[in-house]
């Protein structure tokens, strides 16, 4: 199984304000929102009911805080979501990961997923994080376009992604991005820092 595409944002110094369309509002996770999150993400990811579990997907120690999970609501209904998650500091210091972005189909086309994601990026900055990353799939072209608009760029984690990224840009009718990001696509593969072995102490 080939690894997901990865994207990277080098800083949060130039974030735009979160300005929602009329009729929508932004809020963070509240007790009882688990089912709403599962609905938005399940439908967005094409999963059957019950296949997505908030507890299994989100409640990782050190990563989840209610104020890191954002919802865009229409009235009382959550219609889009994105989460600000933390990476282990030994993997990528001072870095957050944009996690589980989804929008209900009836509210697509209003950039709500991008706005929820932008709120998550603001959260990273508020927490003092320096940069961000995310994982996505080749076929999620609208999502990739959203992430590019948010200032993310390709991040190579596998040799096969050199061509995969070029194919994605062609599918987006943005072949010029293959040239713009050629130094990345032709560059070295990112590797996580080496972790020293655990030494037993007697």
pLDDT in tens, 94-153: 899 999 999 999 999 999 999 999 999 999 999 999 999 999 999 999 999 999 999 999
Q: Residue 168: name the closest of 54, 5, 49 by CA.
A: 5
pLDDT digits (tens, 9 = 90+) for 140-196: 999 999 999 999 999 999 999 999 999 999 999 999 999 999 999 999 998 876 555
Q: Which residue has the higher pLDDT, 198 or 10?
A: 10
Non-local CB neighbours of 51 within 8 Å, separated by 6+ positions: 42
pLDDT value at residue 193? 64
What domains, with CATH codes, occur in the chain?
5-185 (3.40.630.30)
Question: What pTM was computed for the model?
Answer: 0.91
Q: What is the 3-state secondary structure (H, E, C) of 122-181?
A: HHHHHCCCCEEEEEECCCCHHHHHHHHHCCCEEECCCCCHHHHHHHHHHHCCCCHHHHHC
Say if residues 67 and 123 touch (Cβ distance below 8 Å).
yes
């Amino acid at each position: 199984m080939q690894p997901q595409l990865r994207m990277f944002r080098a800083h949060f110094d130039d974030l735009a304000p979160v300005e929602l369309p009329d009729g929508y509002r932004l809020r963070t996770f509240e007790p009882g929102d688990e089912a709403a999150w599962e609905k938005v993400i399940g439908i967005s990811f094409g999963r059957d009911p019950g296949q997505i579990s908030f507890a299994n997907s989100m409640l990782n120690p050190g990563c989840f805080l209610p104020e890191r999970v954002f919802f865009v609501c229409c009235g009382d209904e959550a219609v889009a979501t994105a989460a600000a998650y933390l990476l282990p500091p030994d993997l990528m210091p001072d870095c957050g990961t944009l996690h589980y972005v989804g929008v209900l189909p009836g509210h697509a086309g209003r950039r709500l997923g991008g706005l929820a994601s932008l709120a998550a990026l603001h959260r990273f900055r508020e927490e003092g994080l320096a940069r961000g990353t995310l994982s996505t799939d080749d076929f999620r072209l609208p999502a990739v376009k959203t992430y590019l608009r948010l200032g993310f760029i390709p991040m190579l984690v596998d040799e096969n992604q050199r061509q995969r990224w070029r194919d994605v840009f062609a599918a987006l009718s943005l072949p010029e991005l293959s040239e713009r990001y050629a130094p990345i696509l032709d560059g070295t593969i990112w590797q996580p820092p080496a972790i020293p072995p655990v030494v037993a102490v007697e």
